[in-house]
Structure 1
Amino acid sequence: MIIQHFTDNDLYKFSVMHAIQKRYPWSYVKYAFTNRGKTDFPEGFAERMREEVAAMANLKLTQEEKRFIEKRCYFFDPVFIDFLEGYRYDPAEVQIVQTDGDLSVVIEGYWYRTVLWEVPLLAIISELYFKMMGATPQDFVGKAIQKGVALKGLEADYSEFGTRRRFSFDVQDKVVGALQESSGDFFKGTSNVYLAMKYNTTPIGTMPHEWFMYHGAIFGYRSANIKGLEAWVAVYDGSLGIALTDTYTTDSFFSSFSQKQAKLFDGVRHDSGDPLLFADKAIGFYEKTRIDPTSKTLVFSDSLNLQTVKQIKDHVAGRIHDTYGIGTFFSNDVGVKALNIVIKLTDVKAHKNDPKYLKAVKLSDVEGKHTGDEKEIDLSIRTLGLE
């Protein structure tokens, strides 16, 4: 069984789950798997994956996990934590089909429930693929120690974000331990809640693209960022205060990011496009709104390695606080090519009984990386004046 712990999942899935329950408990959605790297999956993959998904029905929050969440996730109310204790995965929400080497995965159900599937399913797909291909990880602990020492030398605050595309749970587990040991205080935590508990570090994460994608589909693209941030503040009252900027492009985000929200949120996160250009835009925005940039934080989380971290640090030095969320570079640097896979929100309803779904799409600061229905993407681009 690949997923053996209920909290072997990223914090942001639990944080958005909490927000969904508070704001949109009736919402009904679909997610779909996208094989960006065109990986050819081996015969029998879907059957093995169904077995893994079925086994997840037996997962439940342990008392140790509950106590950790109560202690470290102070922003969750006791009602939500009690709900997690009673939550069970429902494999009927996941449909898996394989045609030759092509894999289709669709998730459908109430949003507050189905939101937890994305990360563990991606982790299953990745680990199962490498198992079936007979791959063996090479020298990953030694590499992690070298990276941790190098990041400490750069004085870079960073966290491990590698759950979704890890080679295996065992690799991610050992890498997190090695990073913590080799980087000292510069290692700030991990997105994986179970590993944060195991290593007594901070679970890291705030909001995902799907939060804004839902608001864009329901309320319109011009209102998506504003509505999404207002709803987030209504739930978290200033906690989890790093805003994601690129769901409908960073330029669109900053055009609607009010001075009130800019002062309230601790900072913003970069997840696509040129990180140096993003840094200049963010710092310029804060200066224009008469906010001291050095009081804010930029989180960088797009395909980072030691070279890109150094480039960014050199560029922003003394201008703003910078921190880094590093994923596949840590959890799948084992001598194989990591899978390029995602699961994204595709369809939403404000209520299960609504007559039809609305399409949910995601833009990007990288041309050609937009996600979702092509007609709806075109509509969102024209609505936001991004043509």
Structure 2
Amino acid sequence: MVDIATRVWNHKWKIDPIVRSLIDTDFYKLLMCQSVFRNSPDTTVTFSLINRTKSIRLADIVDEGELREQLDHIRSLSLSRGESTWMRGNTFYGQRQMFTPEFMDWFEQLRLPPYHLEKRDGQYALTFEGPWPEVMLWEIPALAVIMELRSRAVLHDMKRFELQVLYARAMTQLWEKVERLRGIPSLRIADFGTRRRHSFLWQDWCVQAMTERLGDTFVGTSNCLIAKNRDLEAIGTNAHELPMVYAALADTDEELRQAPYRVLADWHDEHSGNLRIILPDTYGTEGFLANAPDWLAGWTGIRIDSGAPEAGAETAIRWWKERGEDPREKLIIFSDGLDEDRILALHKQFAGRVKVSFGWGTLLTNDFRGLTPGDALAPFSMVCKAVAANGRPTVKLSDNPNKAMGPADEVARYKRVFGVGEQEAMEVVV
């Protein structure tokens, strides 16, 4: 096991790469990339970094030269032989050859496209533009680089013993969380913390701790490189990116209204079983489920990623019952802003009524709250989203208006088309 404090102390080289592999990314990005490669390879998209926590002035913290070095290094990466073998030959979700030979031939030749970086009012304007299958793979490494460079900047002037004590406290804090989750019948947790992790080494340590202490309760990690290296299940399905881009490409209000279902129809053609998970909140869960085609009720489950999770779960249970499905045979995955208290409360409320699983993200892999002066390492909310497709702006409404994005006139249009009324605004922590 790596001595993380000593490793951080030794961050003195000209460049110490943060991302060392194209599969140091979330599994759902690779699944979606294959779907996009198959269905929309010629779509041009723009992705942009969005710091929701404006009080964190990243351009004042993270050195621009270091950031460019890290991004340039990522552009030099290609799939290694061992990584290709893992993707081509491993079993994912019980299925061999999840990734087609055509997709793998393309991926093995891929180098990520150029980026555009500038400073604006204390923040970094970081954008990527080009073919959708290429550009979409920037999202996770770009976020991971920014987050870790911020961590390195905060830790830079700490002495060796300060670092040892800091990481000892962080390890103890995580271990106490994990202890509380031990021995809970039917509890299932996966690591979803790649995007906003403290560092790669810290995420890897968290995964090892969960593996050792939780046993079968810990079902895997979204991080493909860690899954490969630690012989764990790679976990993930699909994300808001797909309906956002499909919707942006719609020419009429009716096409817009059908766009989220077209996404899942394409997904249905490609995947089965536990990969058939609905993410309904892109344009409001209530409206999505009310207008959903009957065949979607036969899918395995639903992921709840915004709004009040209790309300989202009750909505899903009610919808399944209305469609003649037994909720006890369905899976609900909670994945928004989780920590151990929320995990325990939601499991207690819904276990037995549905199958319950949790994607534990930032507050697993980047919880250093209260451990540094001024809470300088506290996690914050940052995303990298598709903001345009073929020159048209994208929109996300969410079940929490504080997570909405897009031009005001387009947001108003989407609310009208999808029948989204008043929503409860909730604090976005991470």
TM-score, normalised via structure 1 length: 0.93
Partner of 2:257: 222
Question: Shift in Å at residue 238 of structure 1?
Answer: 5.3
> 2:232 matched to 1:197?
no
Q: 2:325 aligns with which of 288, 291, 302?
A: 291
Partner of 1:86: 109
Question: Shift in Å at residue 49 of structure 1?
Answer: 1.1
Partner of 1:113: 134
Cα-Cα RMSD? 1.6
> 2:379 matched to 1:338?
yes
After superposition, give the CA deviation of every residue in 1:49-93 in whole Å (9 maximum; x if it has no partner). Answer: 111111112212222222222213432212222322221123x2x
Structure-2 separation of matches of 1:179 and 1:368: 32
> 2:309 matched to 1:314?
no
Partner of 1:250: 285
SS in 2 for 1:337: coil
Structure-2 separation of matches of 1:250 and 1:330: 26
SS in 2 for 1:222: helix
What are structure 2's unaligned runs of at least 5 residues? Answer: 1-16, 157-162, 372-376, 422-430
SS in 2 for 1:117: helix
Amino acid at match of 1:104: A
Amino acid at match of 1:149: E
Q: Do 1:215 and 1:223's aligned partners in 2 also have CA atoms closer than 8 Å? A: no
Structure-2 separation of matches of 1:238 and 1:252: 25
Amino acid at match of 1:142: T
Amino acid at match of 1:130: S
Q: Do 1:126 and 1:339's aligned partners in 2 also have CA atoms closer than 8 Å? A: no
Partner of 1:168: 199
SS in 1 for 2:401: coil
Question: Shift in Å at residue 237 of structure 1?
Answer: 5.0
After superposition, give the CA deviation of every residue in 1:123-165 in whole Å (9 maximum; x if it has no partner). Answer: 0000011212326553333333333332223332010011111
Amino acid at match of 1:81: M
Compare 128-137 and 325-334 and name the one that shifted more: 128-137
Matches within 5 A, 1:102-141: 102-134=123-155, 137-138=166-167, 139-141=169-171
Q: 2:310 aligns with which of 257, 266, 276?
A: 276
CA distance change for structure 1 residues 83 and 50 in 2, over 3 Å: closer, same or farther? same
SS in 1 for 2:275: coil
Amino acid at match of 2:43: S
Partner of 2:13: none
After superposition, give the CA deviation of every residue in 1:170-226 in whole Å (9 maximum; x if it has no partner). Answer: 111111111111100010000100001111111111111010111211234311221
Partner of 1:142: 172
Compare 219-228 and 142-151 and name the one that shifted more: 142-151
CA distance change for structure 1 residues 25 and 286 in 2, over 3 Å: closer, same or farther? same
Partner of 1:63: 81
Question: Shift in Å at residue 21 of structure 1?
Answer: 0.7
What are structure 1's unaligned runs of at least 5 residues? Answer: 350-356
Percent of aligned positions with the same letter in both sequences?
Answer: 31
Partner of 2:12: none
Structure-2 separation of matches of 1:202 and 1:229: 23
Question: Shift in Å at residue 47 of structure 1?
Answer: 2.4
Structure-1 separation of matches of 2:356 and 2:45: 35
Structure-2 separation of matches of 1:345 and 1:128: 23
Q: Do 2:21 and 2:78's aligned partners in 1 also have CA atoms closer than 8 Å? A: yes
Partner of 1:23: 39
Question: Shift in Å at residue 306 of structure 1?
Answer: 1.2
Compare 251-260 and 202-211 and name the one that shifted more: 251-260
Aligned residues: 377
Q: Do 1:225 and 1:256's aligned partners in 2 also have CA atoms closer than 8 Å? A: no
Partner of 1:353: none
> 2:399 matched to 1:365?
yes
SS in 2 for 1:304: coil
Amino acid at match of 2:155: G
